[in-house]
Amino acid sequence: MAGDINRRICLAARPVGEPVPGDFALVETPIPVPGPGEILLQTLWLSLDPYMRGRMNAGKSYAPPVALGKVMVGGTVSRVLASNQEGFRPGDFVEGRTGWQEYALATGRELRRVDPALAPLSTALGVLGMPGMTAYTGLLTIGRPEPGETVVVAAASGAVGSLVGQIARLKGARAIGIAGGPAKCDYVVSELGFDACLDHRSPTLPADLAAACPEGIDVYFENVGGAVWEAVLPLLNPFARIPVCGLIAHSNATRLPEGPNLVPALMRAVLSNRLTLRGFIVGDFADQQEEFLTDVGAWLRTGQIRHREDIVDGLESAPAAFIGLLQGRNFGKALVRVAAEG
Amino acid sequence: MAGDINRRICLAARPVGEPVPGDFALVETPIPVPGPGEILLQTLWLSLDPYMRGRMNAGKSYAPPVALGKVMVGGTVSRVLASNQEGFRPGDFVEGRTGWQEYALATGRELRRVDPALAPLSTALGVLGMPGMTAYTGLLTIGRPEPGETVVVAAASGAVGSLVGQIARLKGARAIGIAGGPAKCDYVVSELGFDACLDHRSPTLPADLAAACPEGIDVYFENVGGAVWEAVLPLLNPFARIPVCGLIAHSNATRLPEGPNLVPALMRAVLSNRLTLRGFIVGDFADQQEEFLTDVGAWLRTGQIRHREDIVDGLESAPAAFIGLLQGRNFGKALVRVAAEG
């Protein structure tokens, strides 16, 4: 492969508001040569996830930003092409965080083996990967739904939301989804088995949500923010739990919304209803990975959990697909097939 | 005592903004006669607490409002005058919630015995009562300060805040108080042993707080809201805990503050710093009462905990003292001596 080209997508400019194609640059470099202890990986699948928008900003968040000119961060499933590291052999499949590029070097410590006999490789980036574990840990550790309780989640046809609702149902709770448009809402109810799914584009969303939650809301899994959170807040029951793992509705905001300032109303609700709001990222629950893979793997094999992928082909498709993800245009877990598996 | 008068303070009007004396009415009724199973109580001490402001509003909160024309709610320490209830004898002292009146009937179930040999009777409404237990349970169950961590609490010379900081210190944490004016701040540091205390009236409060918390804030015990919360938010460390038990700064608000709407910024902080906000009222932790009385009682006897009372005399003084409490004019636990103990 010497002399071959590694195509990479780098951060060319920090977006102002919604990212545009010019914020990304496709850069060609030689395929790297693995040194002592290093592994050469070929990317097969690249995951596109909302958190990446935060990494394009300069500001501090729970993780440092991508530096200008550097490869965009991202989870990947790759094939080992060459290895100077014990335990990794050409042909092995691994999940890692090697970013938006066709080839990458790794040392092995940051990789997790993926067995293609257990589940399709791409699931290691979705239902059996970071999004799935986000849903599983946030819902069960913070949300803790009880039988008969009502769980609400937005982006309900997406990688995280779809699993939140299905796990809530498996735990005996009611699952109410919110999604964009009738096709996604139909899918969430008829394929995923949610009790109801509401269109967040409806001007009557607050009333629709109230009607769908006649006994109030006990768990709101927060992954969007914005208008959905404002519709949820008045419906929360005493002692409701709100795991907060994402705020995609605010991702592209360049300034704070106009007033009034609703913080006092939010804090009043926290007090009056004894709410628990807790932010988390999946890495906070790394010790639950075995349990997650065991449980969700079993539910997947028995058909108790379904999932859906939205695949685009070729690394060069990643920027447009990512911009579409932030606009809610994907339908299912957003993935880039960077190279064929076979 | 037949024919004698029971003076009661009733809710005459729902306040618009800050309560005024005309929102209260002193009403005279006959002293009630205990029926079968009933106990006649004479109020000795009436507690004045910020939560009472919420009860004057019509809106739903964690407890129903006081009805117009009805006696204001409130915690009391009383002496048993007559009893048709087994286990209660004239001369006994009890703590209850008999409200702003000189005499009341009770059945006994809602009363807790108070032993004047263990601690002054009035402490059953303060450091060994509801405010003390609010501080103890909220700090230790939700805040969970670790040695070396920084705990911030406002209204630091008050019944709740003073105990929050002192318990934080006993657990090995740093305690930073916020209070109104130099006299209270001096007391909080020199008498209560906080590491620092800042004046919330200072225009440089955000900078003062940042300087007093060079390693950030791990626990913010929220009992005021408003500008203090806005100053605290940027200083919170990852995984900080925020027990929310009161929002006195918003008590008299008649409308939401002007924009921008800071809810997205608050939710962003919750996510980025993996914050836990949890509202509570003391009744949620009723099962910790024995533990609370044991621990705080011991700390009080050994002098590890200090407290201060701000006493006015006579039931008729209650409205003005309560209005003053909402303005921060009390210095220590606000109490009305309704009748002499001896």
Give dist(CA B309, CA B48) in Å, integer. 11
**Structure-model confidence comparison of residues A60 and A238, the more confident one:** A238
Domains and CATH numbers, chain B: 5-126+307-337 (3.90.180.10), 130-285+294-298 (3.40.50.720)
Query: Which tokens in the block code for residue B81?
Result: 């005058």
| Structure confidence at residue A3 (pLDDT) | 54
Q: What is the predicted pLDDT for the residue at B120?
A: 95
How confident is the model over A78-104, as a mean pLDDT? 97
Q: What is the mean pLDDT of residues B216-239?
A: 94
Q: How far A39 CA lies from chain B's nearest CA (Å)? A: 33
* Nearest one of A271, A281, A266 to A233, comparing CA atoms: A266
B259-268 pLDDT per residue, tens: 888 889 899 9
Taking an 8 Å cut-off on Cβ atoms, the answer to whether A267 and B62 are in contact is no
Give percent above pLDDT 90 in chain A. Answer: 88
Q: Which residue does chain A place closest to B138, by CA atoms?
A: A274
Would you say B332 and B307 are in contact if contact means Cβ atoms under 8 Å apart? yes
Q: What is the pLDDT of residue B319?
A: 98
Q: For A169-207, how does the pLDDT look when each residue is reduced to its tens digit (9 = 90+)?
A: 999 999 999 999 999 999 999 999 999 999 999 999 999
Report whether pLDDT(A1) > 60.
no
ipTM of the modeled complex: 0.90
More confidently predicted of B47 and A224: B47
Match 């932010």 to its residue by tokens: A279
Do the Cβ atoms of A128 and A293 come closer than 8 Å? yes
pLDDT (mean) for B130-137: 97
Query: Under an 8 A CB cutoff, do B274 and A281 touch?
Result: yes
Distance CA A210, CA B224 (A): 31
CA gap B168, B172 in Å, rounded: 7
| pLDDT score for B59 | 79
Between these two residues, B263 and B102, which has the higher pLDDT value? B102
Give B253 or A101, the one with higher predicted confidence: A101
Tell which of A263, A273, A276 to mutate to test the B interface (max B CBs under 10 Å): A263
Beta bridge partners of B79: B42, B93
Q: Which of A238, A245, A260 sits opposite B261 (nearest CB)?
A: A260
Question: Which pLDDT belongs to residue B225?
Answer: 87
> Is the model's pLDDT at B221 over the cut of 80?
yes
Nearest by CB to B280, from A250, A261, A274: name it: A274
The amino acid sitting at A70 is K
pLDDT given for residue A226 in this prediction: 87
Q: Which helix (H) or strand (E) holds A151?
A: strand A150-153
Residues of chain B with Cβ-Cβ distance to A222 below 8 Å are 267
pLDDT reading at B102 higher than 80: yes
Residues A54-69 have a mean pLDDT of: 88
Q: With contact defined as beta carbons under 8 Å apart, do A220 and A242 qualify?
A: yes
| Average pLDDT of chain B, as a whole number | 94
Q: What is the reported pLDDT for B2?
A: 45
Q: Which of B160, B176, B171, B267 is nearest to B224 (CA)?
A: B160
**DSSP H or E run through A46:** strand A39-47
Contacts of A60 in chain B (CB under 8 A): 272
Reported as a pLDDT band with limits 50, 70 and 90, residue A2 is very low
Residue A254 has pLDDT above 80, yes or no: no
Residue A37 tokens read as: 């202890």
Find residues 228-287 of chain A whose CB sits inside 8 Å of chain B: 229-230, 238, 244-247, 250, 253, 255-281, 284
Mean per-residue pLDDT over chain A, rounded: 94
Residue A103 above 90 pLDDT? Answer: yes
